[in-house]
A and B are shown apart, each in its own frame.
Chain A
């Protein structure tokens, strides 16, 4: 009887010794026994392809083409009212320019949802360097970033809206363009939020709605 139990114990020890426990961290690829249809002959987003020389399944759009994002699918399917901005020809909205000069005012009307979007996007992409209040004191200043623009400076305050939009999209000086990370409509939201920051950082007590003044004075 003892012999049976001993052999059983040894068997368990060998199996656990070879296969280990659940949750073990390691580079071993997940074991697949039945492949079923787990891997199908189709390209996944950002997948790899041995066919194209750069190894990517996703292709770069040819120069001069317009991305289809936000495109007019209804118009494309024959709807009577079509979106005239299908080709993103609106220079003011998509490039912040009118001819060669930057537009003074944002073409997007400012409301609370826009400012909320702007705050969210600013917090994700801009606050890292420019700081949560726009004073150029983001976390990356501790890691060797210098010469970060203070968005609350008179220089930036007097910039036309279109120039701020253009800087977000294409970068300036040491700053890379964020056009590939922030789509056009959200760039205008960020412009609106930057304006709000500039105002709040240079505001006087007269700018504060009366019901909030007591609270603010207590804080100081």
Chain B
């Protein structure tokens, strides 16, 4: 029985099917590599908050310290969102009748909290201690980005486990003098790189970040 396809067509078809198979596998790998990661799923998350609070104005333009509102990042496990009372320290007089602040005033009168949306959400089985990092010279910027330039805060880093471990294995680029932690515009002094400053800090404060499982999963 003669074959249905000529030898040339047969070769052509085999090549096409083979190529299609290879490309399909490559595409699947590519899609998983590019999309199945917090770098895609989390970075850039910018929810609309109940009050249009601008970190750019408060932390950038006015130069308020991060600690004015997030009072206990330097001595507490978690970074607290400020009480409404903190907003009212100033906004009882400044922009006191602004409609943008209606939610804040309502919260102050009723005692019900403003329902801020949490942006940086670690899994519940990961234990992150803010105080330890802040006290040791890891700047806010390392995990939260240039918040003092953000009108609306967004998720700037992936906060994935490998991202945590990158820094725990080599912390020097992210270490600075602990007094400069909340200075988001800090630059290493002339003639030194951030890593060189970080190395000095690491040696001075005996920083030895744990890489064991129970450091974060306990």
A residues lining the B interface (CB < 8 Å): 1, 3-5, 7-8, 11-12, 15, 19, 22-33, 36-40, 42, 44-46, 48, 54-56, 120, 123-125, 128, 139-140, 143-145, 174, 176, 178, 180-181
A6 to B: closest C-beta gap in Å: 11
Cβ of A96 to closest chain B Cβ, rounded Å:
20
| A124 contacts B41, C-beta separation under 8 Å | no
Flag if B80 contacts A24 (CB, 8 Å): no
A4 near B20 (CB under 8 angstroms)?
yes
Give me 13 A-to-B residue pairs in the complex whose CB atoms sit less than 8 angstroms apart, sorted by A's number. Answer: A1-B19, A4-B16, A29-B47, A30-B45, A30-B155, A45-B77, A54-B111, A54-B113, A56-B113, A145-B94, A176-B85, A176-B89, A180-B86
Partner of A140 from the list B71, B78, B94, B154 (CB cut-off 8 Å) is: B94
Cβ-defined partner of A181 (8 Å) among B19, B71, B123, B154: B71
A38 adjacent to B123 (CB under 8 Å): yes
- Contacts from B to A (Cβ < 8 Å): 12, 15-16, 19-20, 23, 27, 31, 34-36, 38-48, 62-65, 67-68, 71, 77-78, 80-81, 83, 85-86, 88-90, 92-94, 111-113, 115, 121, 123-125, 154-155, 179
Name B's interface SS. loop
| CB-defined contacts of A12 to chain B, threshold 8 Å | 27
Q: What is the bound-complex CA distance between A201 and B104, given in angstroms?
A: 38
Q: B115 contacts which chain A residues (CB < 8 A)?
A: 48, 55
Chain B residues with CB under 8 A of A45: 77-78, 80
Q: How far is the CA of A42 from the CA of B124 in the complex (A)?
A: 9
- Closest B-chain residue to A39, C-beta based? B124
Question: Closest CB of chain B to A5's CB: distance in Å?
Answer: 8
Q: Which residue of A lies closest to B45 (CB)?
A: A30
Describe A's contact surface by its main secondary structure. Answer: loop
**What is the minimal beta-carbon distance from A141 to any residue of chain B, in angstroms?**
11
Residues of B within 8 Å of A40, CB to CB, are 124-125
Q: How far is the CB of B49 from chain A (nearest CB, A)?
A: 10
Q: Which chain B residues lie closer than 8 Å to A19 at the CB level?
A: 35, 40
**Which residues of chain A are near B31, meaning CB under 8 Å?**
15
Which residue of chain B lies nearest to A176 when distances are taken between CB atoms in the complex?
B89
Task: Decide: A27 near B93, CB < 8 A? Known: A22-B40, A38-B123.
Answer: no
Closest B residue to A24 by beta carbon equals B44
- With known contacts A27-B46, A36-B123, A44-B124, A8–B62 Cβ distance under 8 A: no
Q: Which 5 A-B pairs have the closest CB atoms?
A: A40-B124, A38-B123, A124-B65, A45-B78, A30-B42
CB of B29, distance to nearest CB on chain A (Å): 13
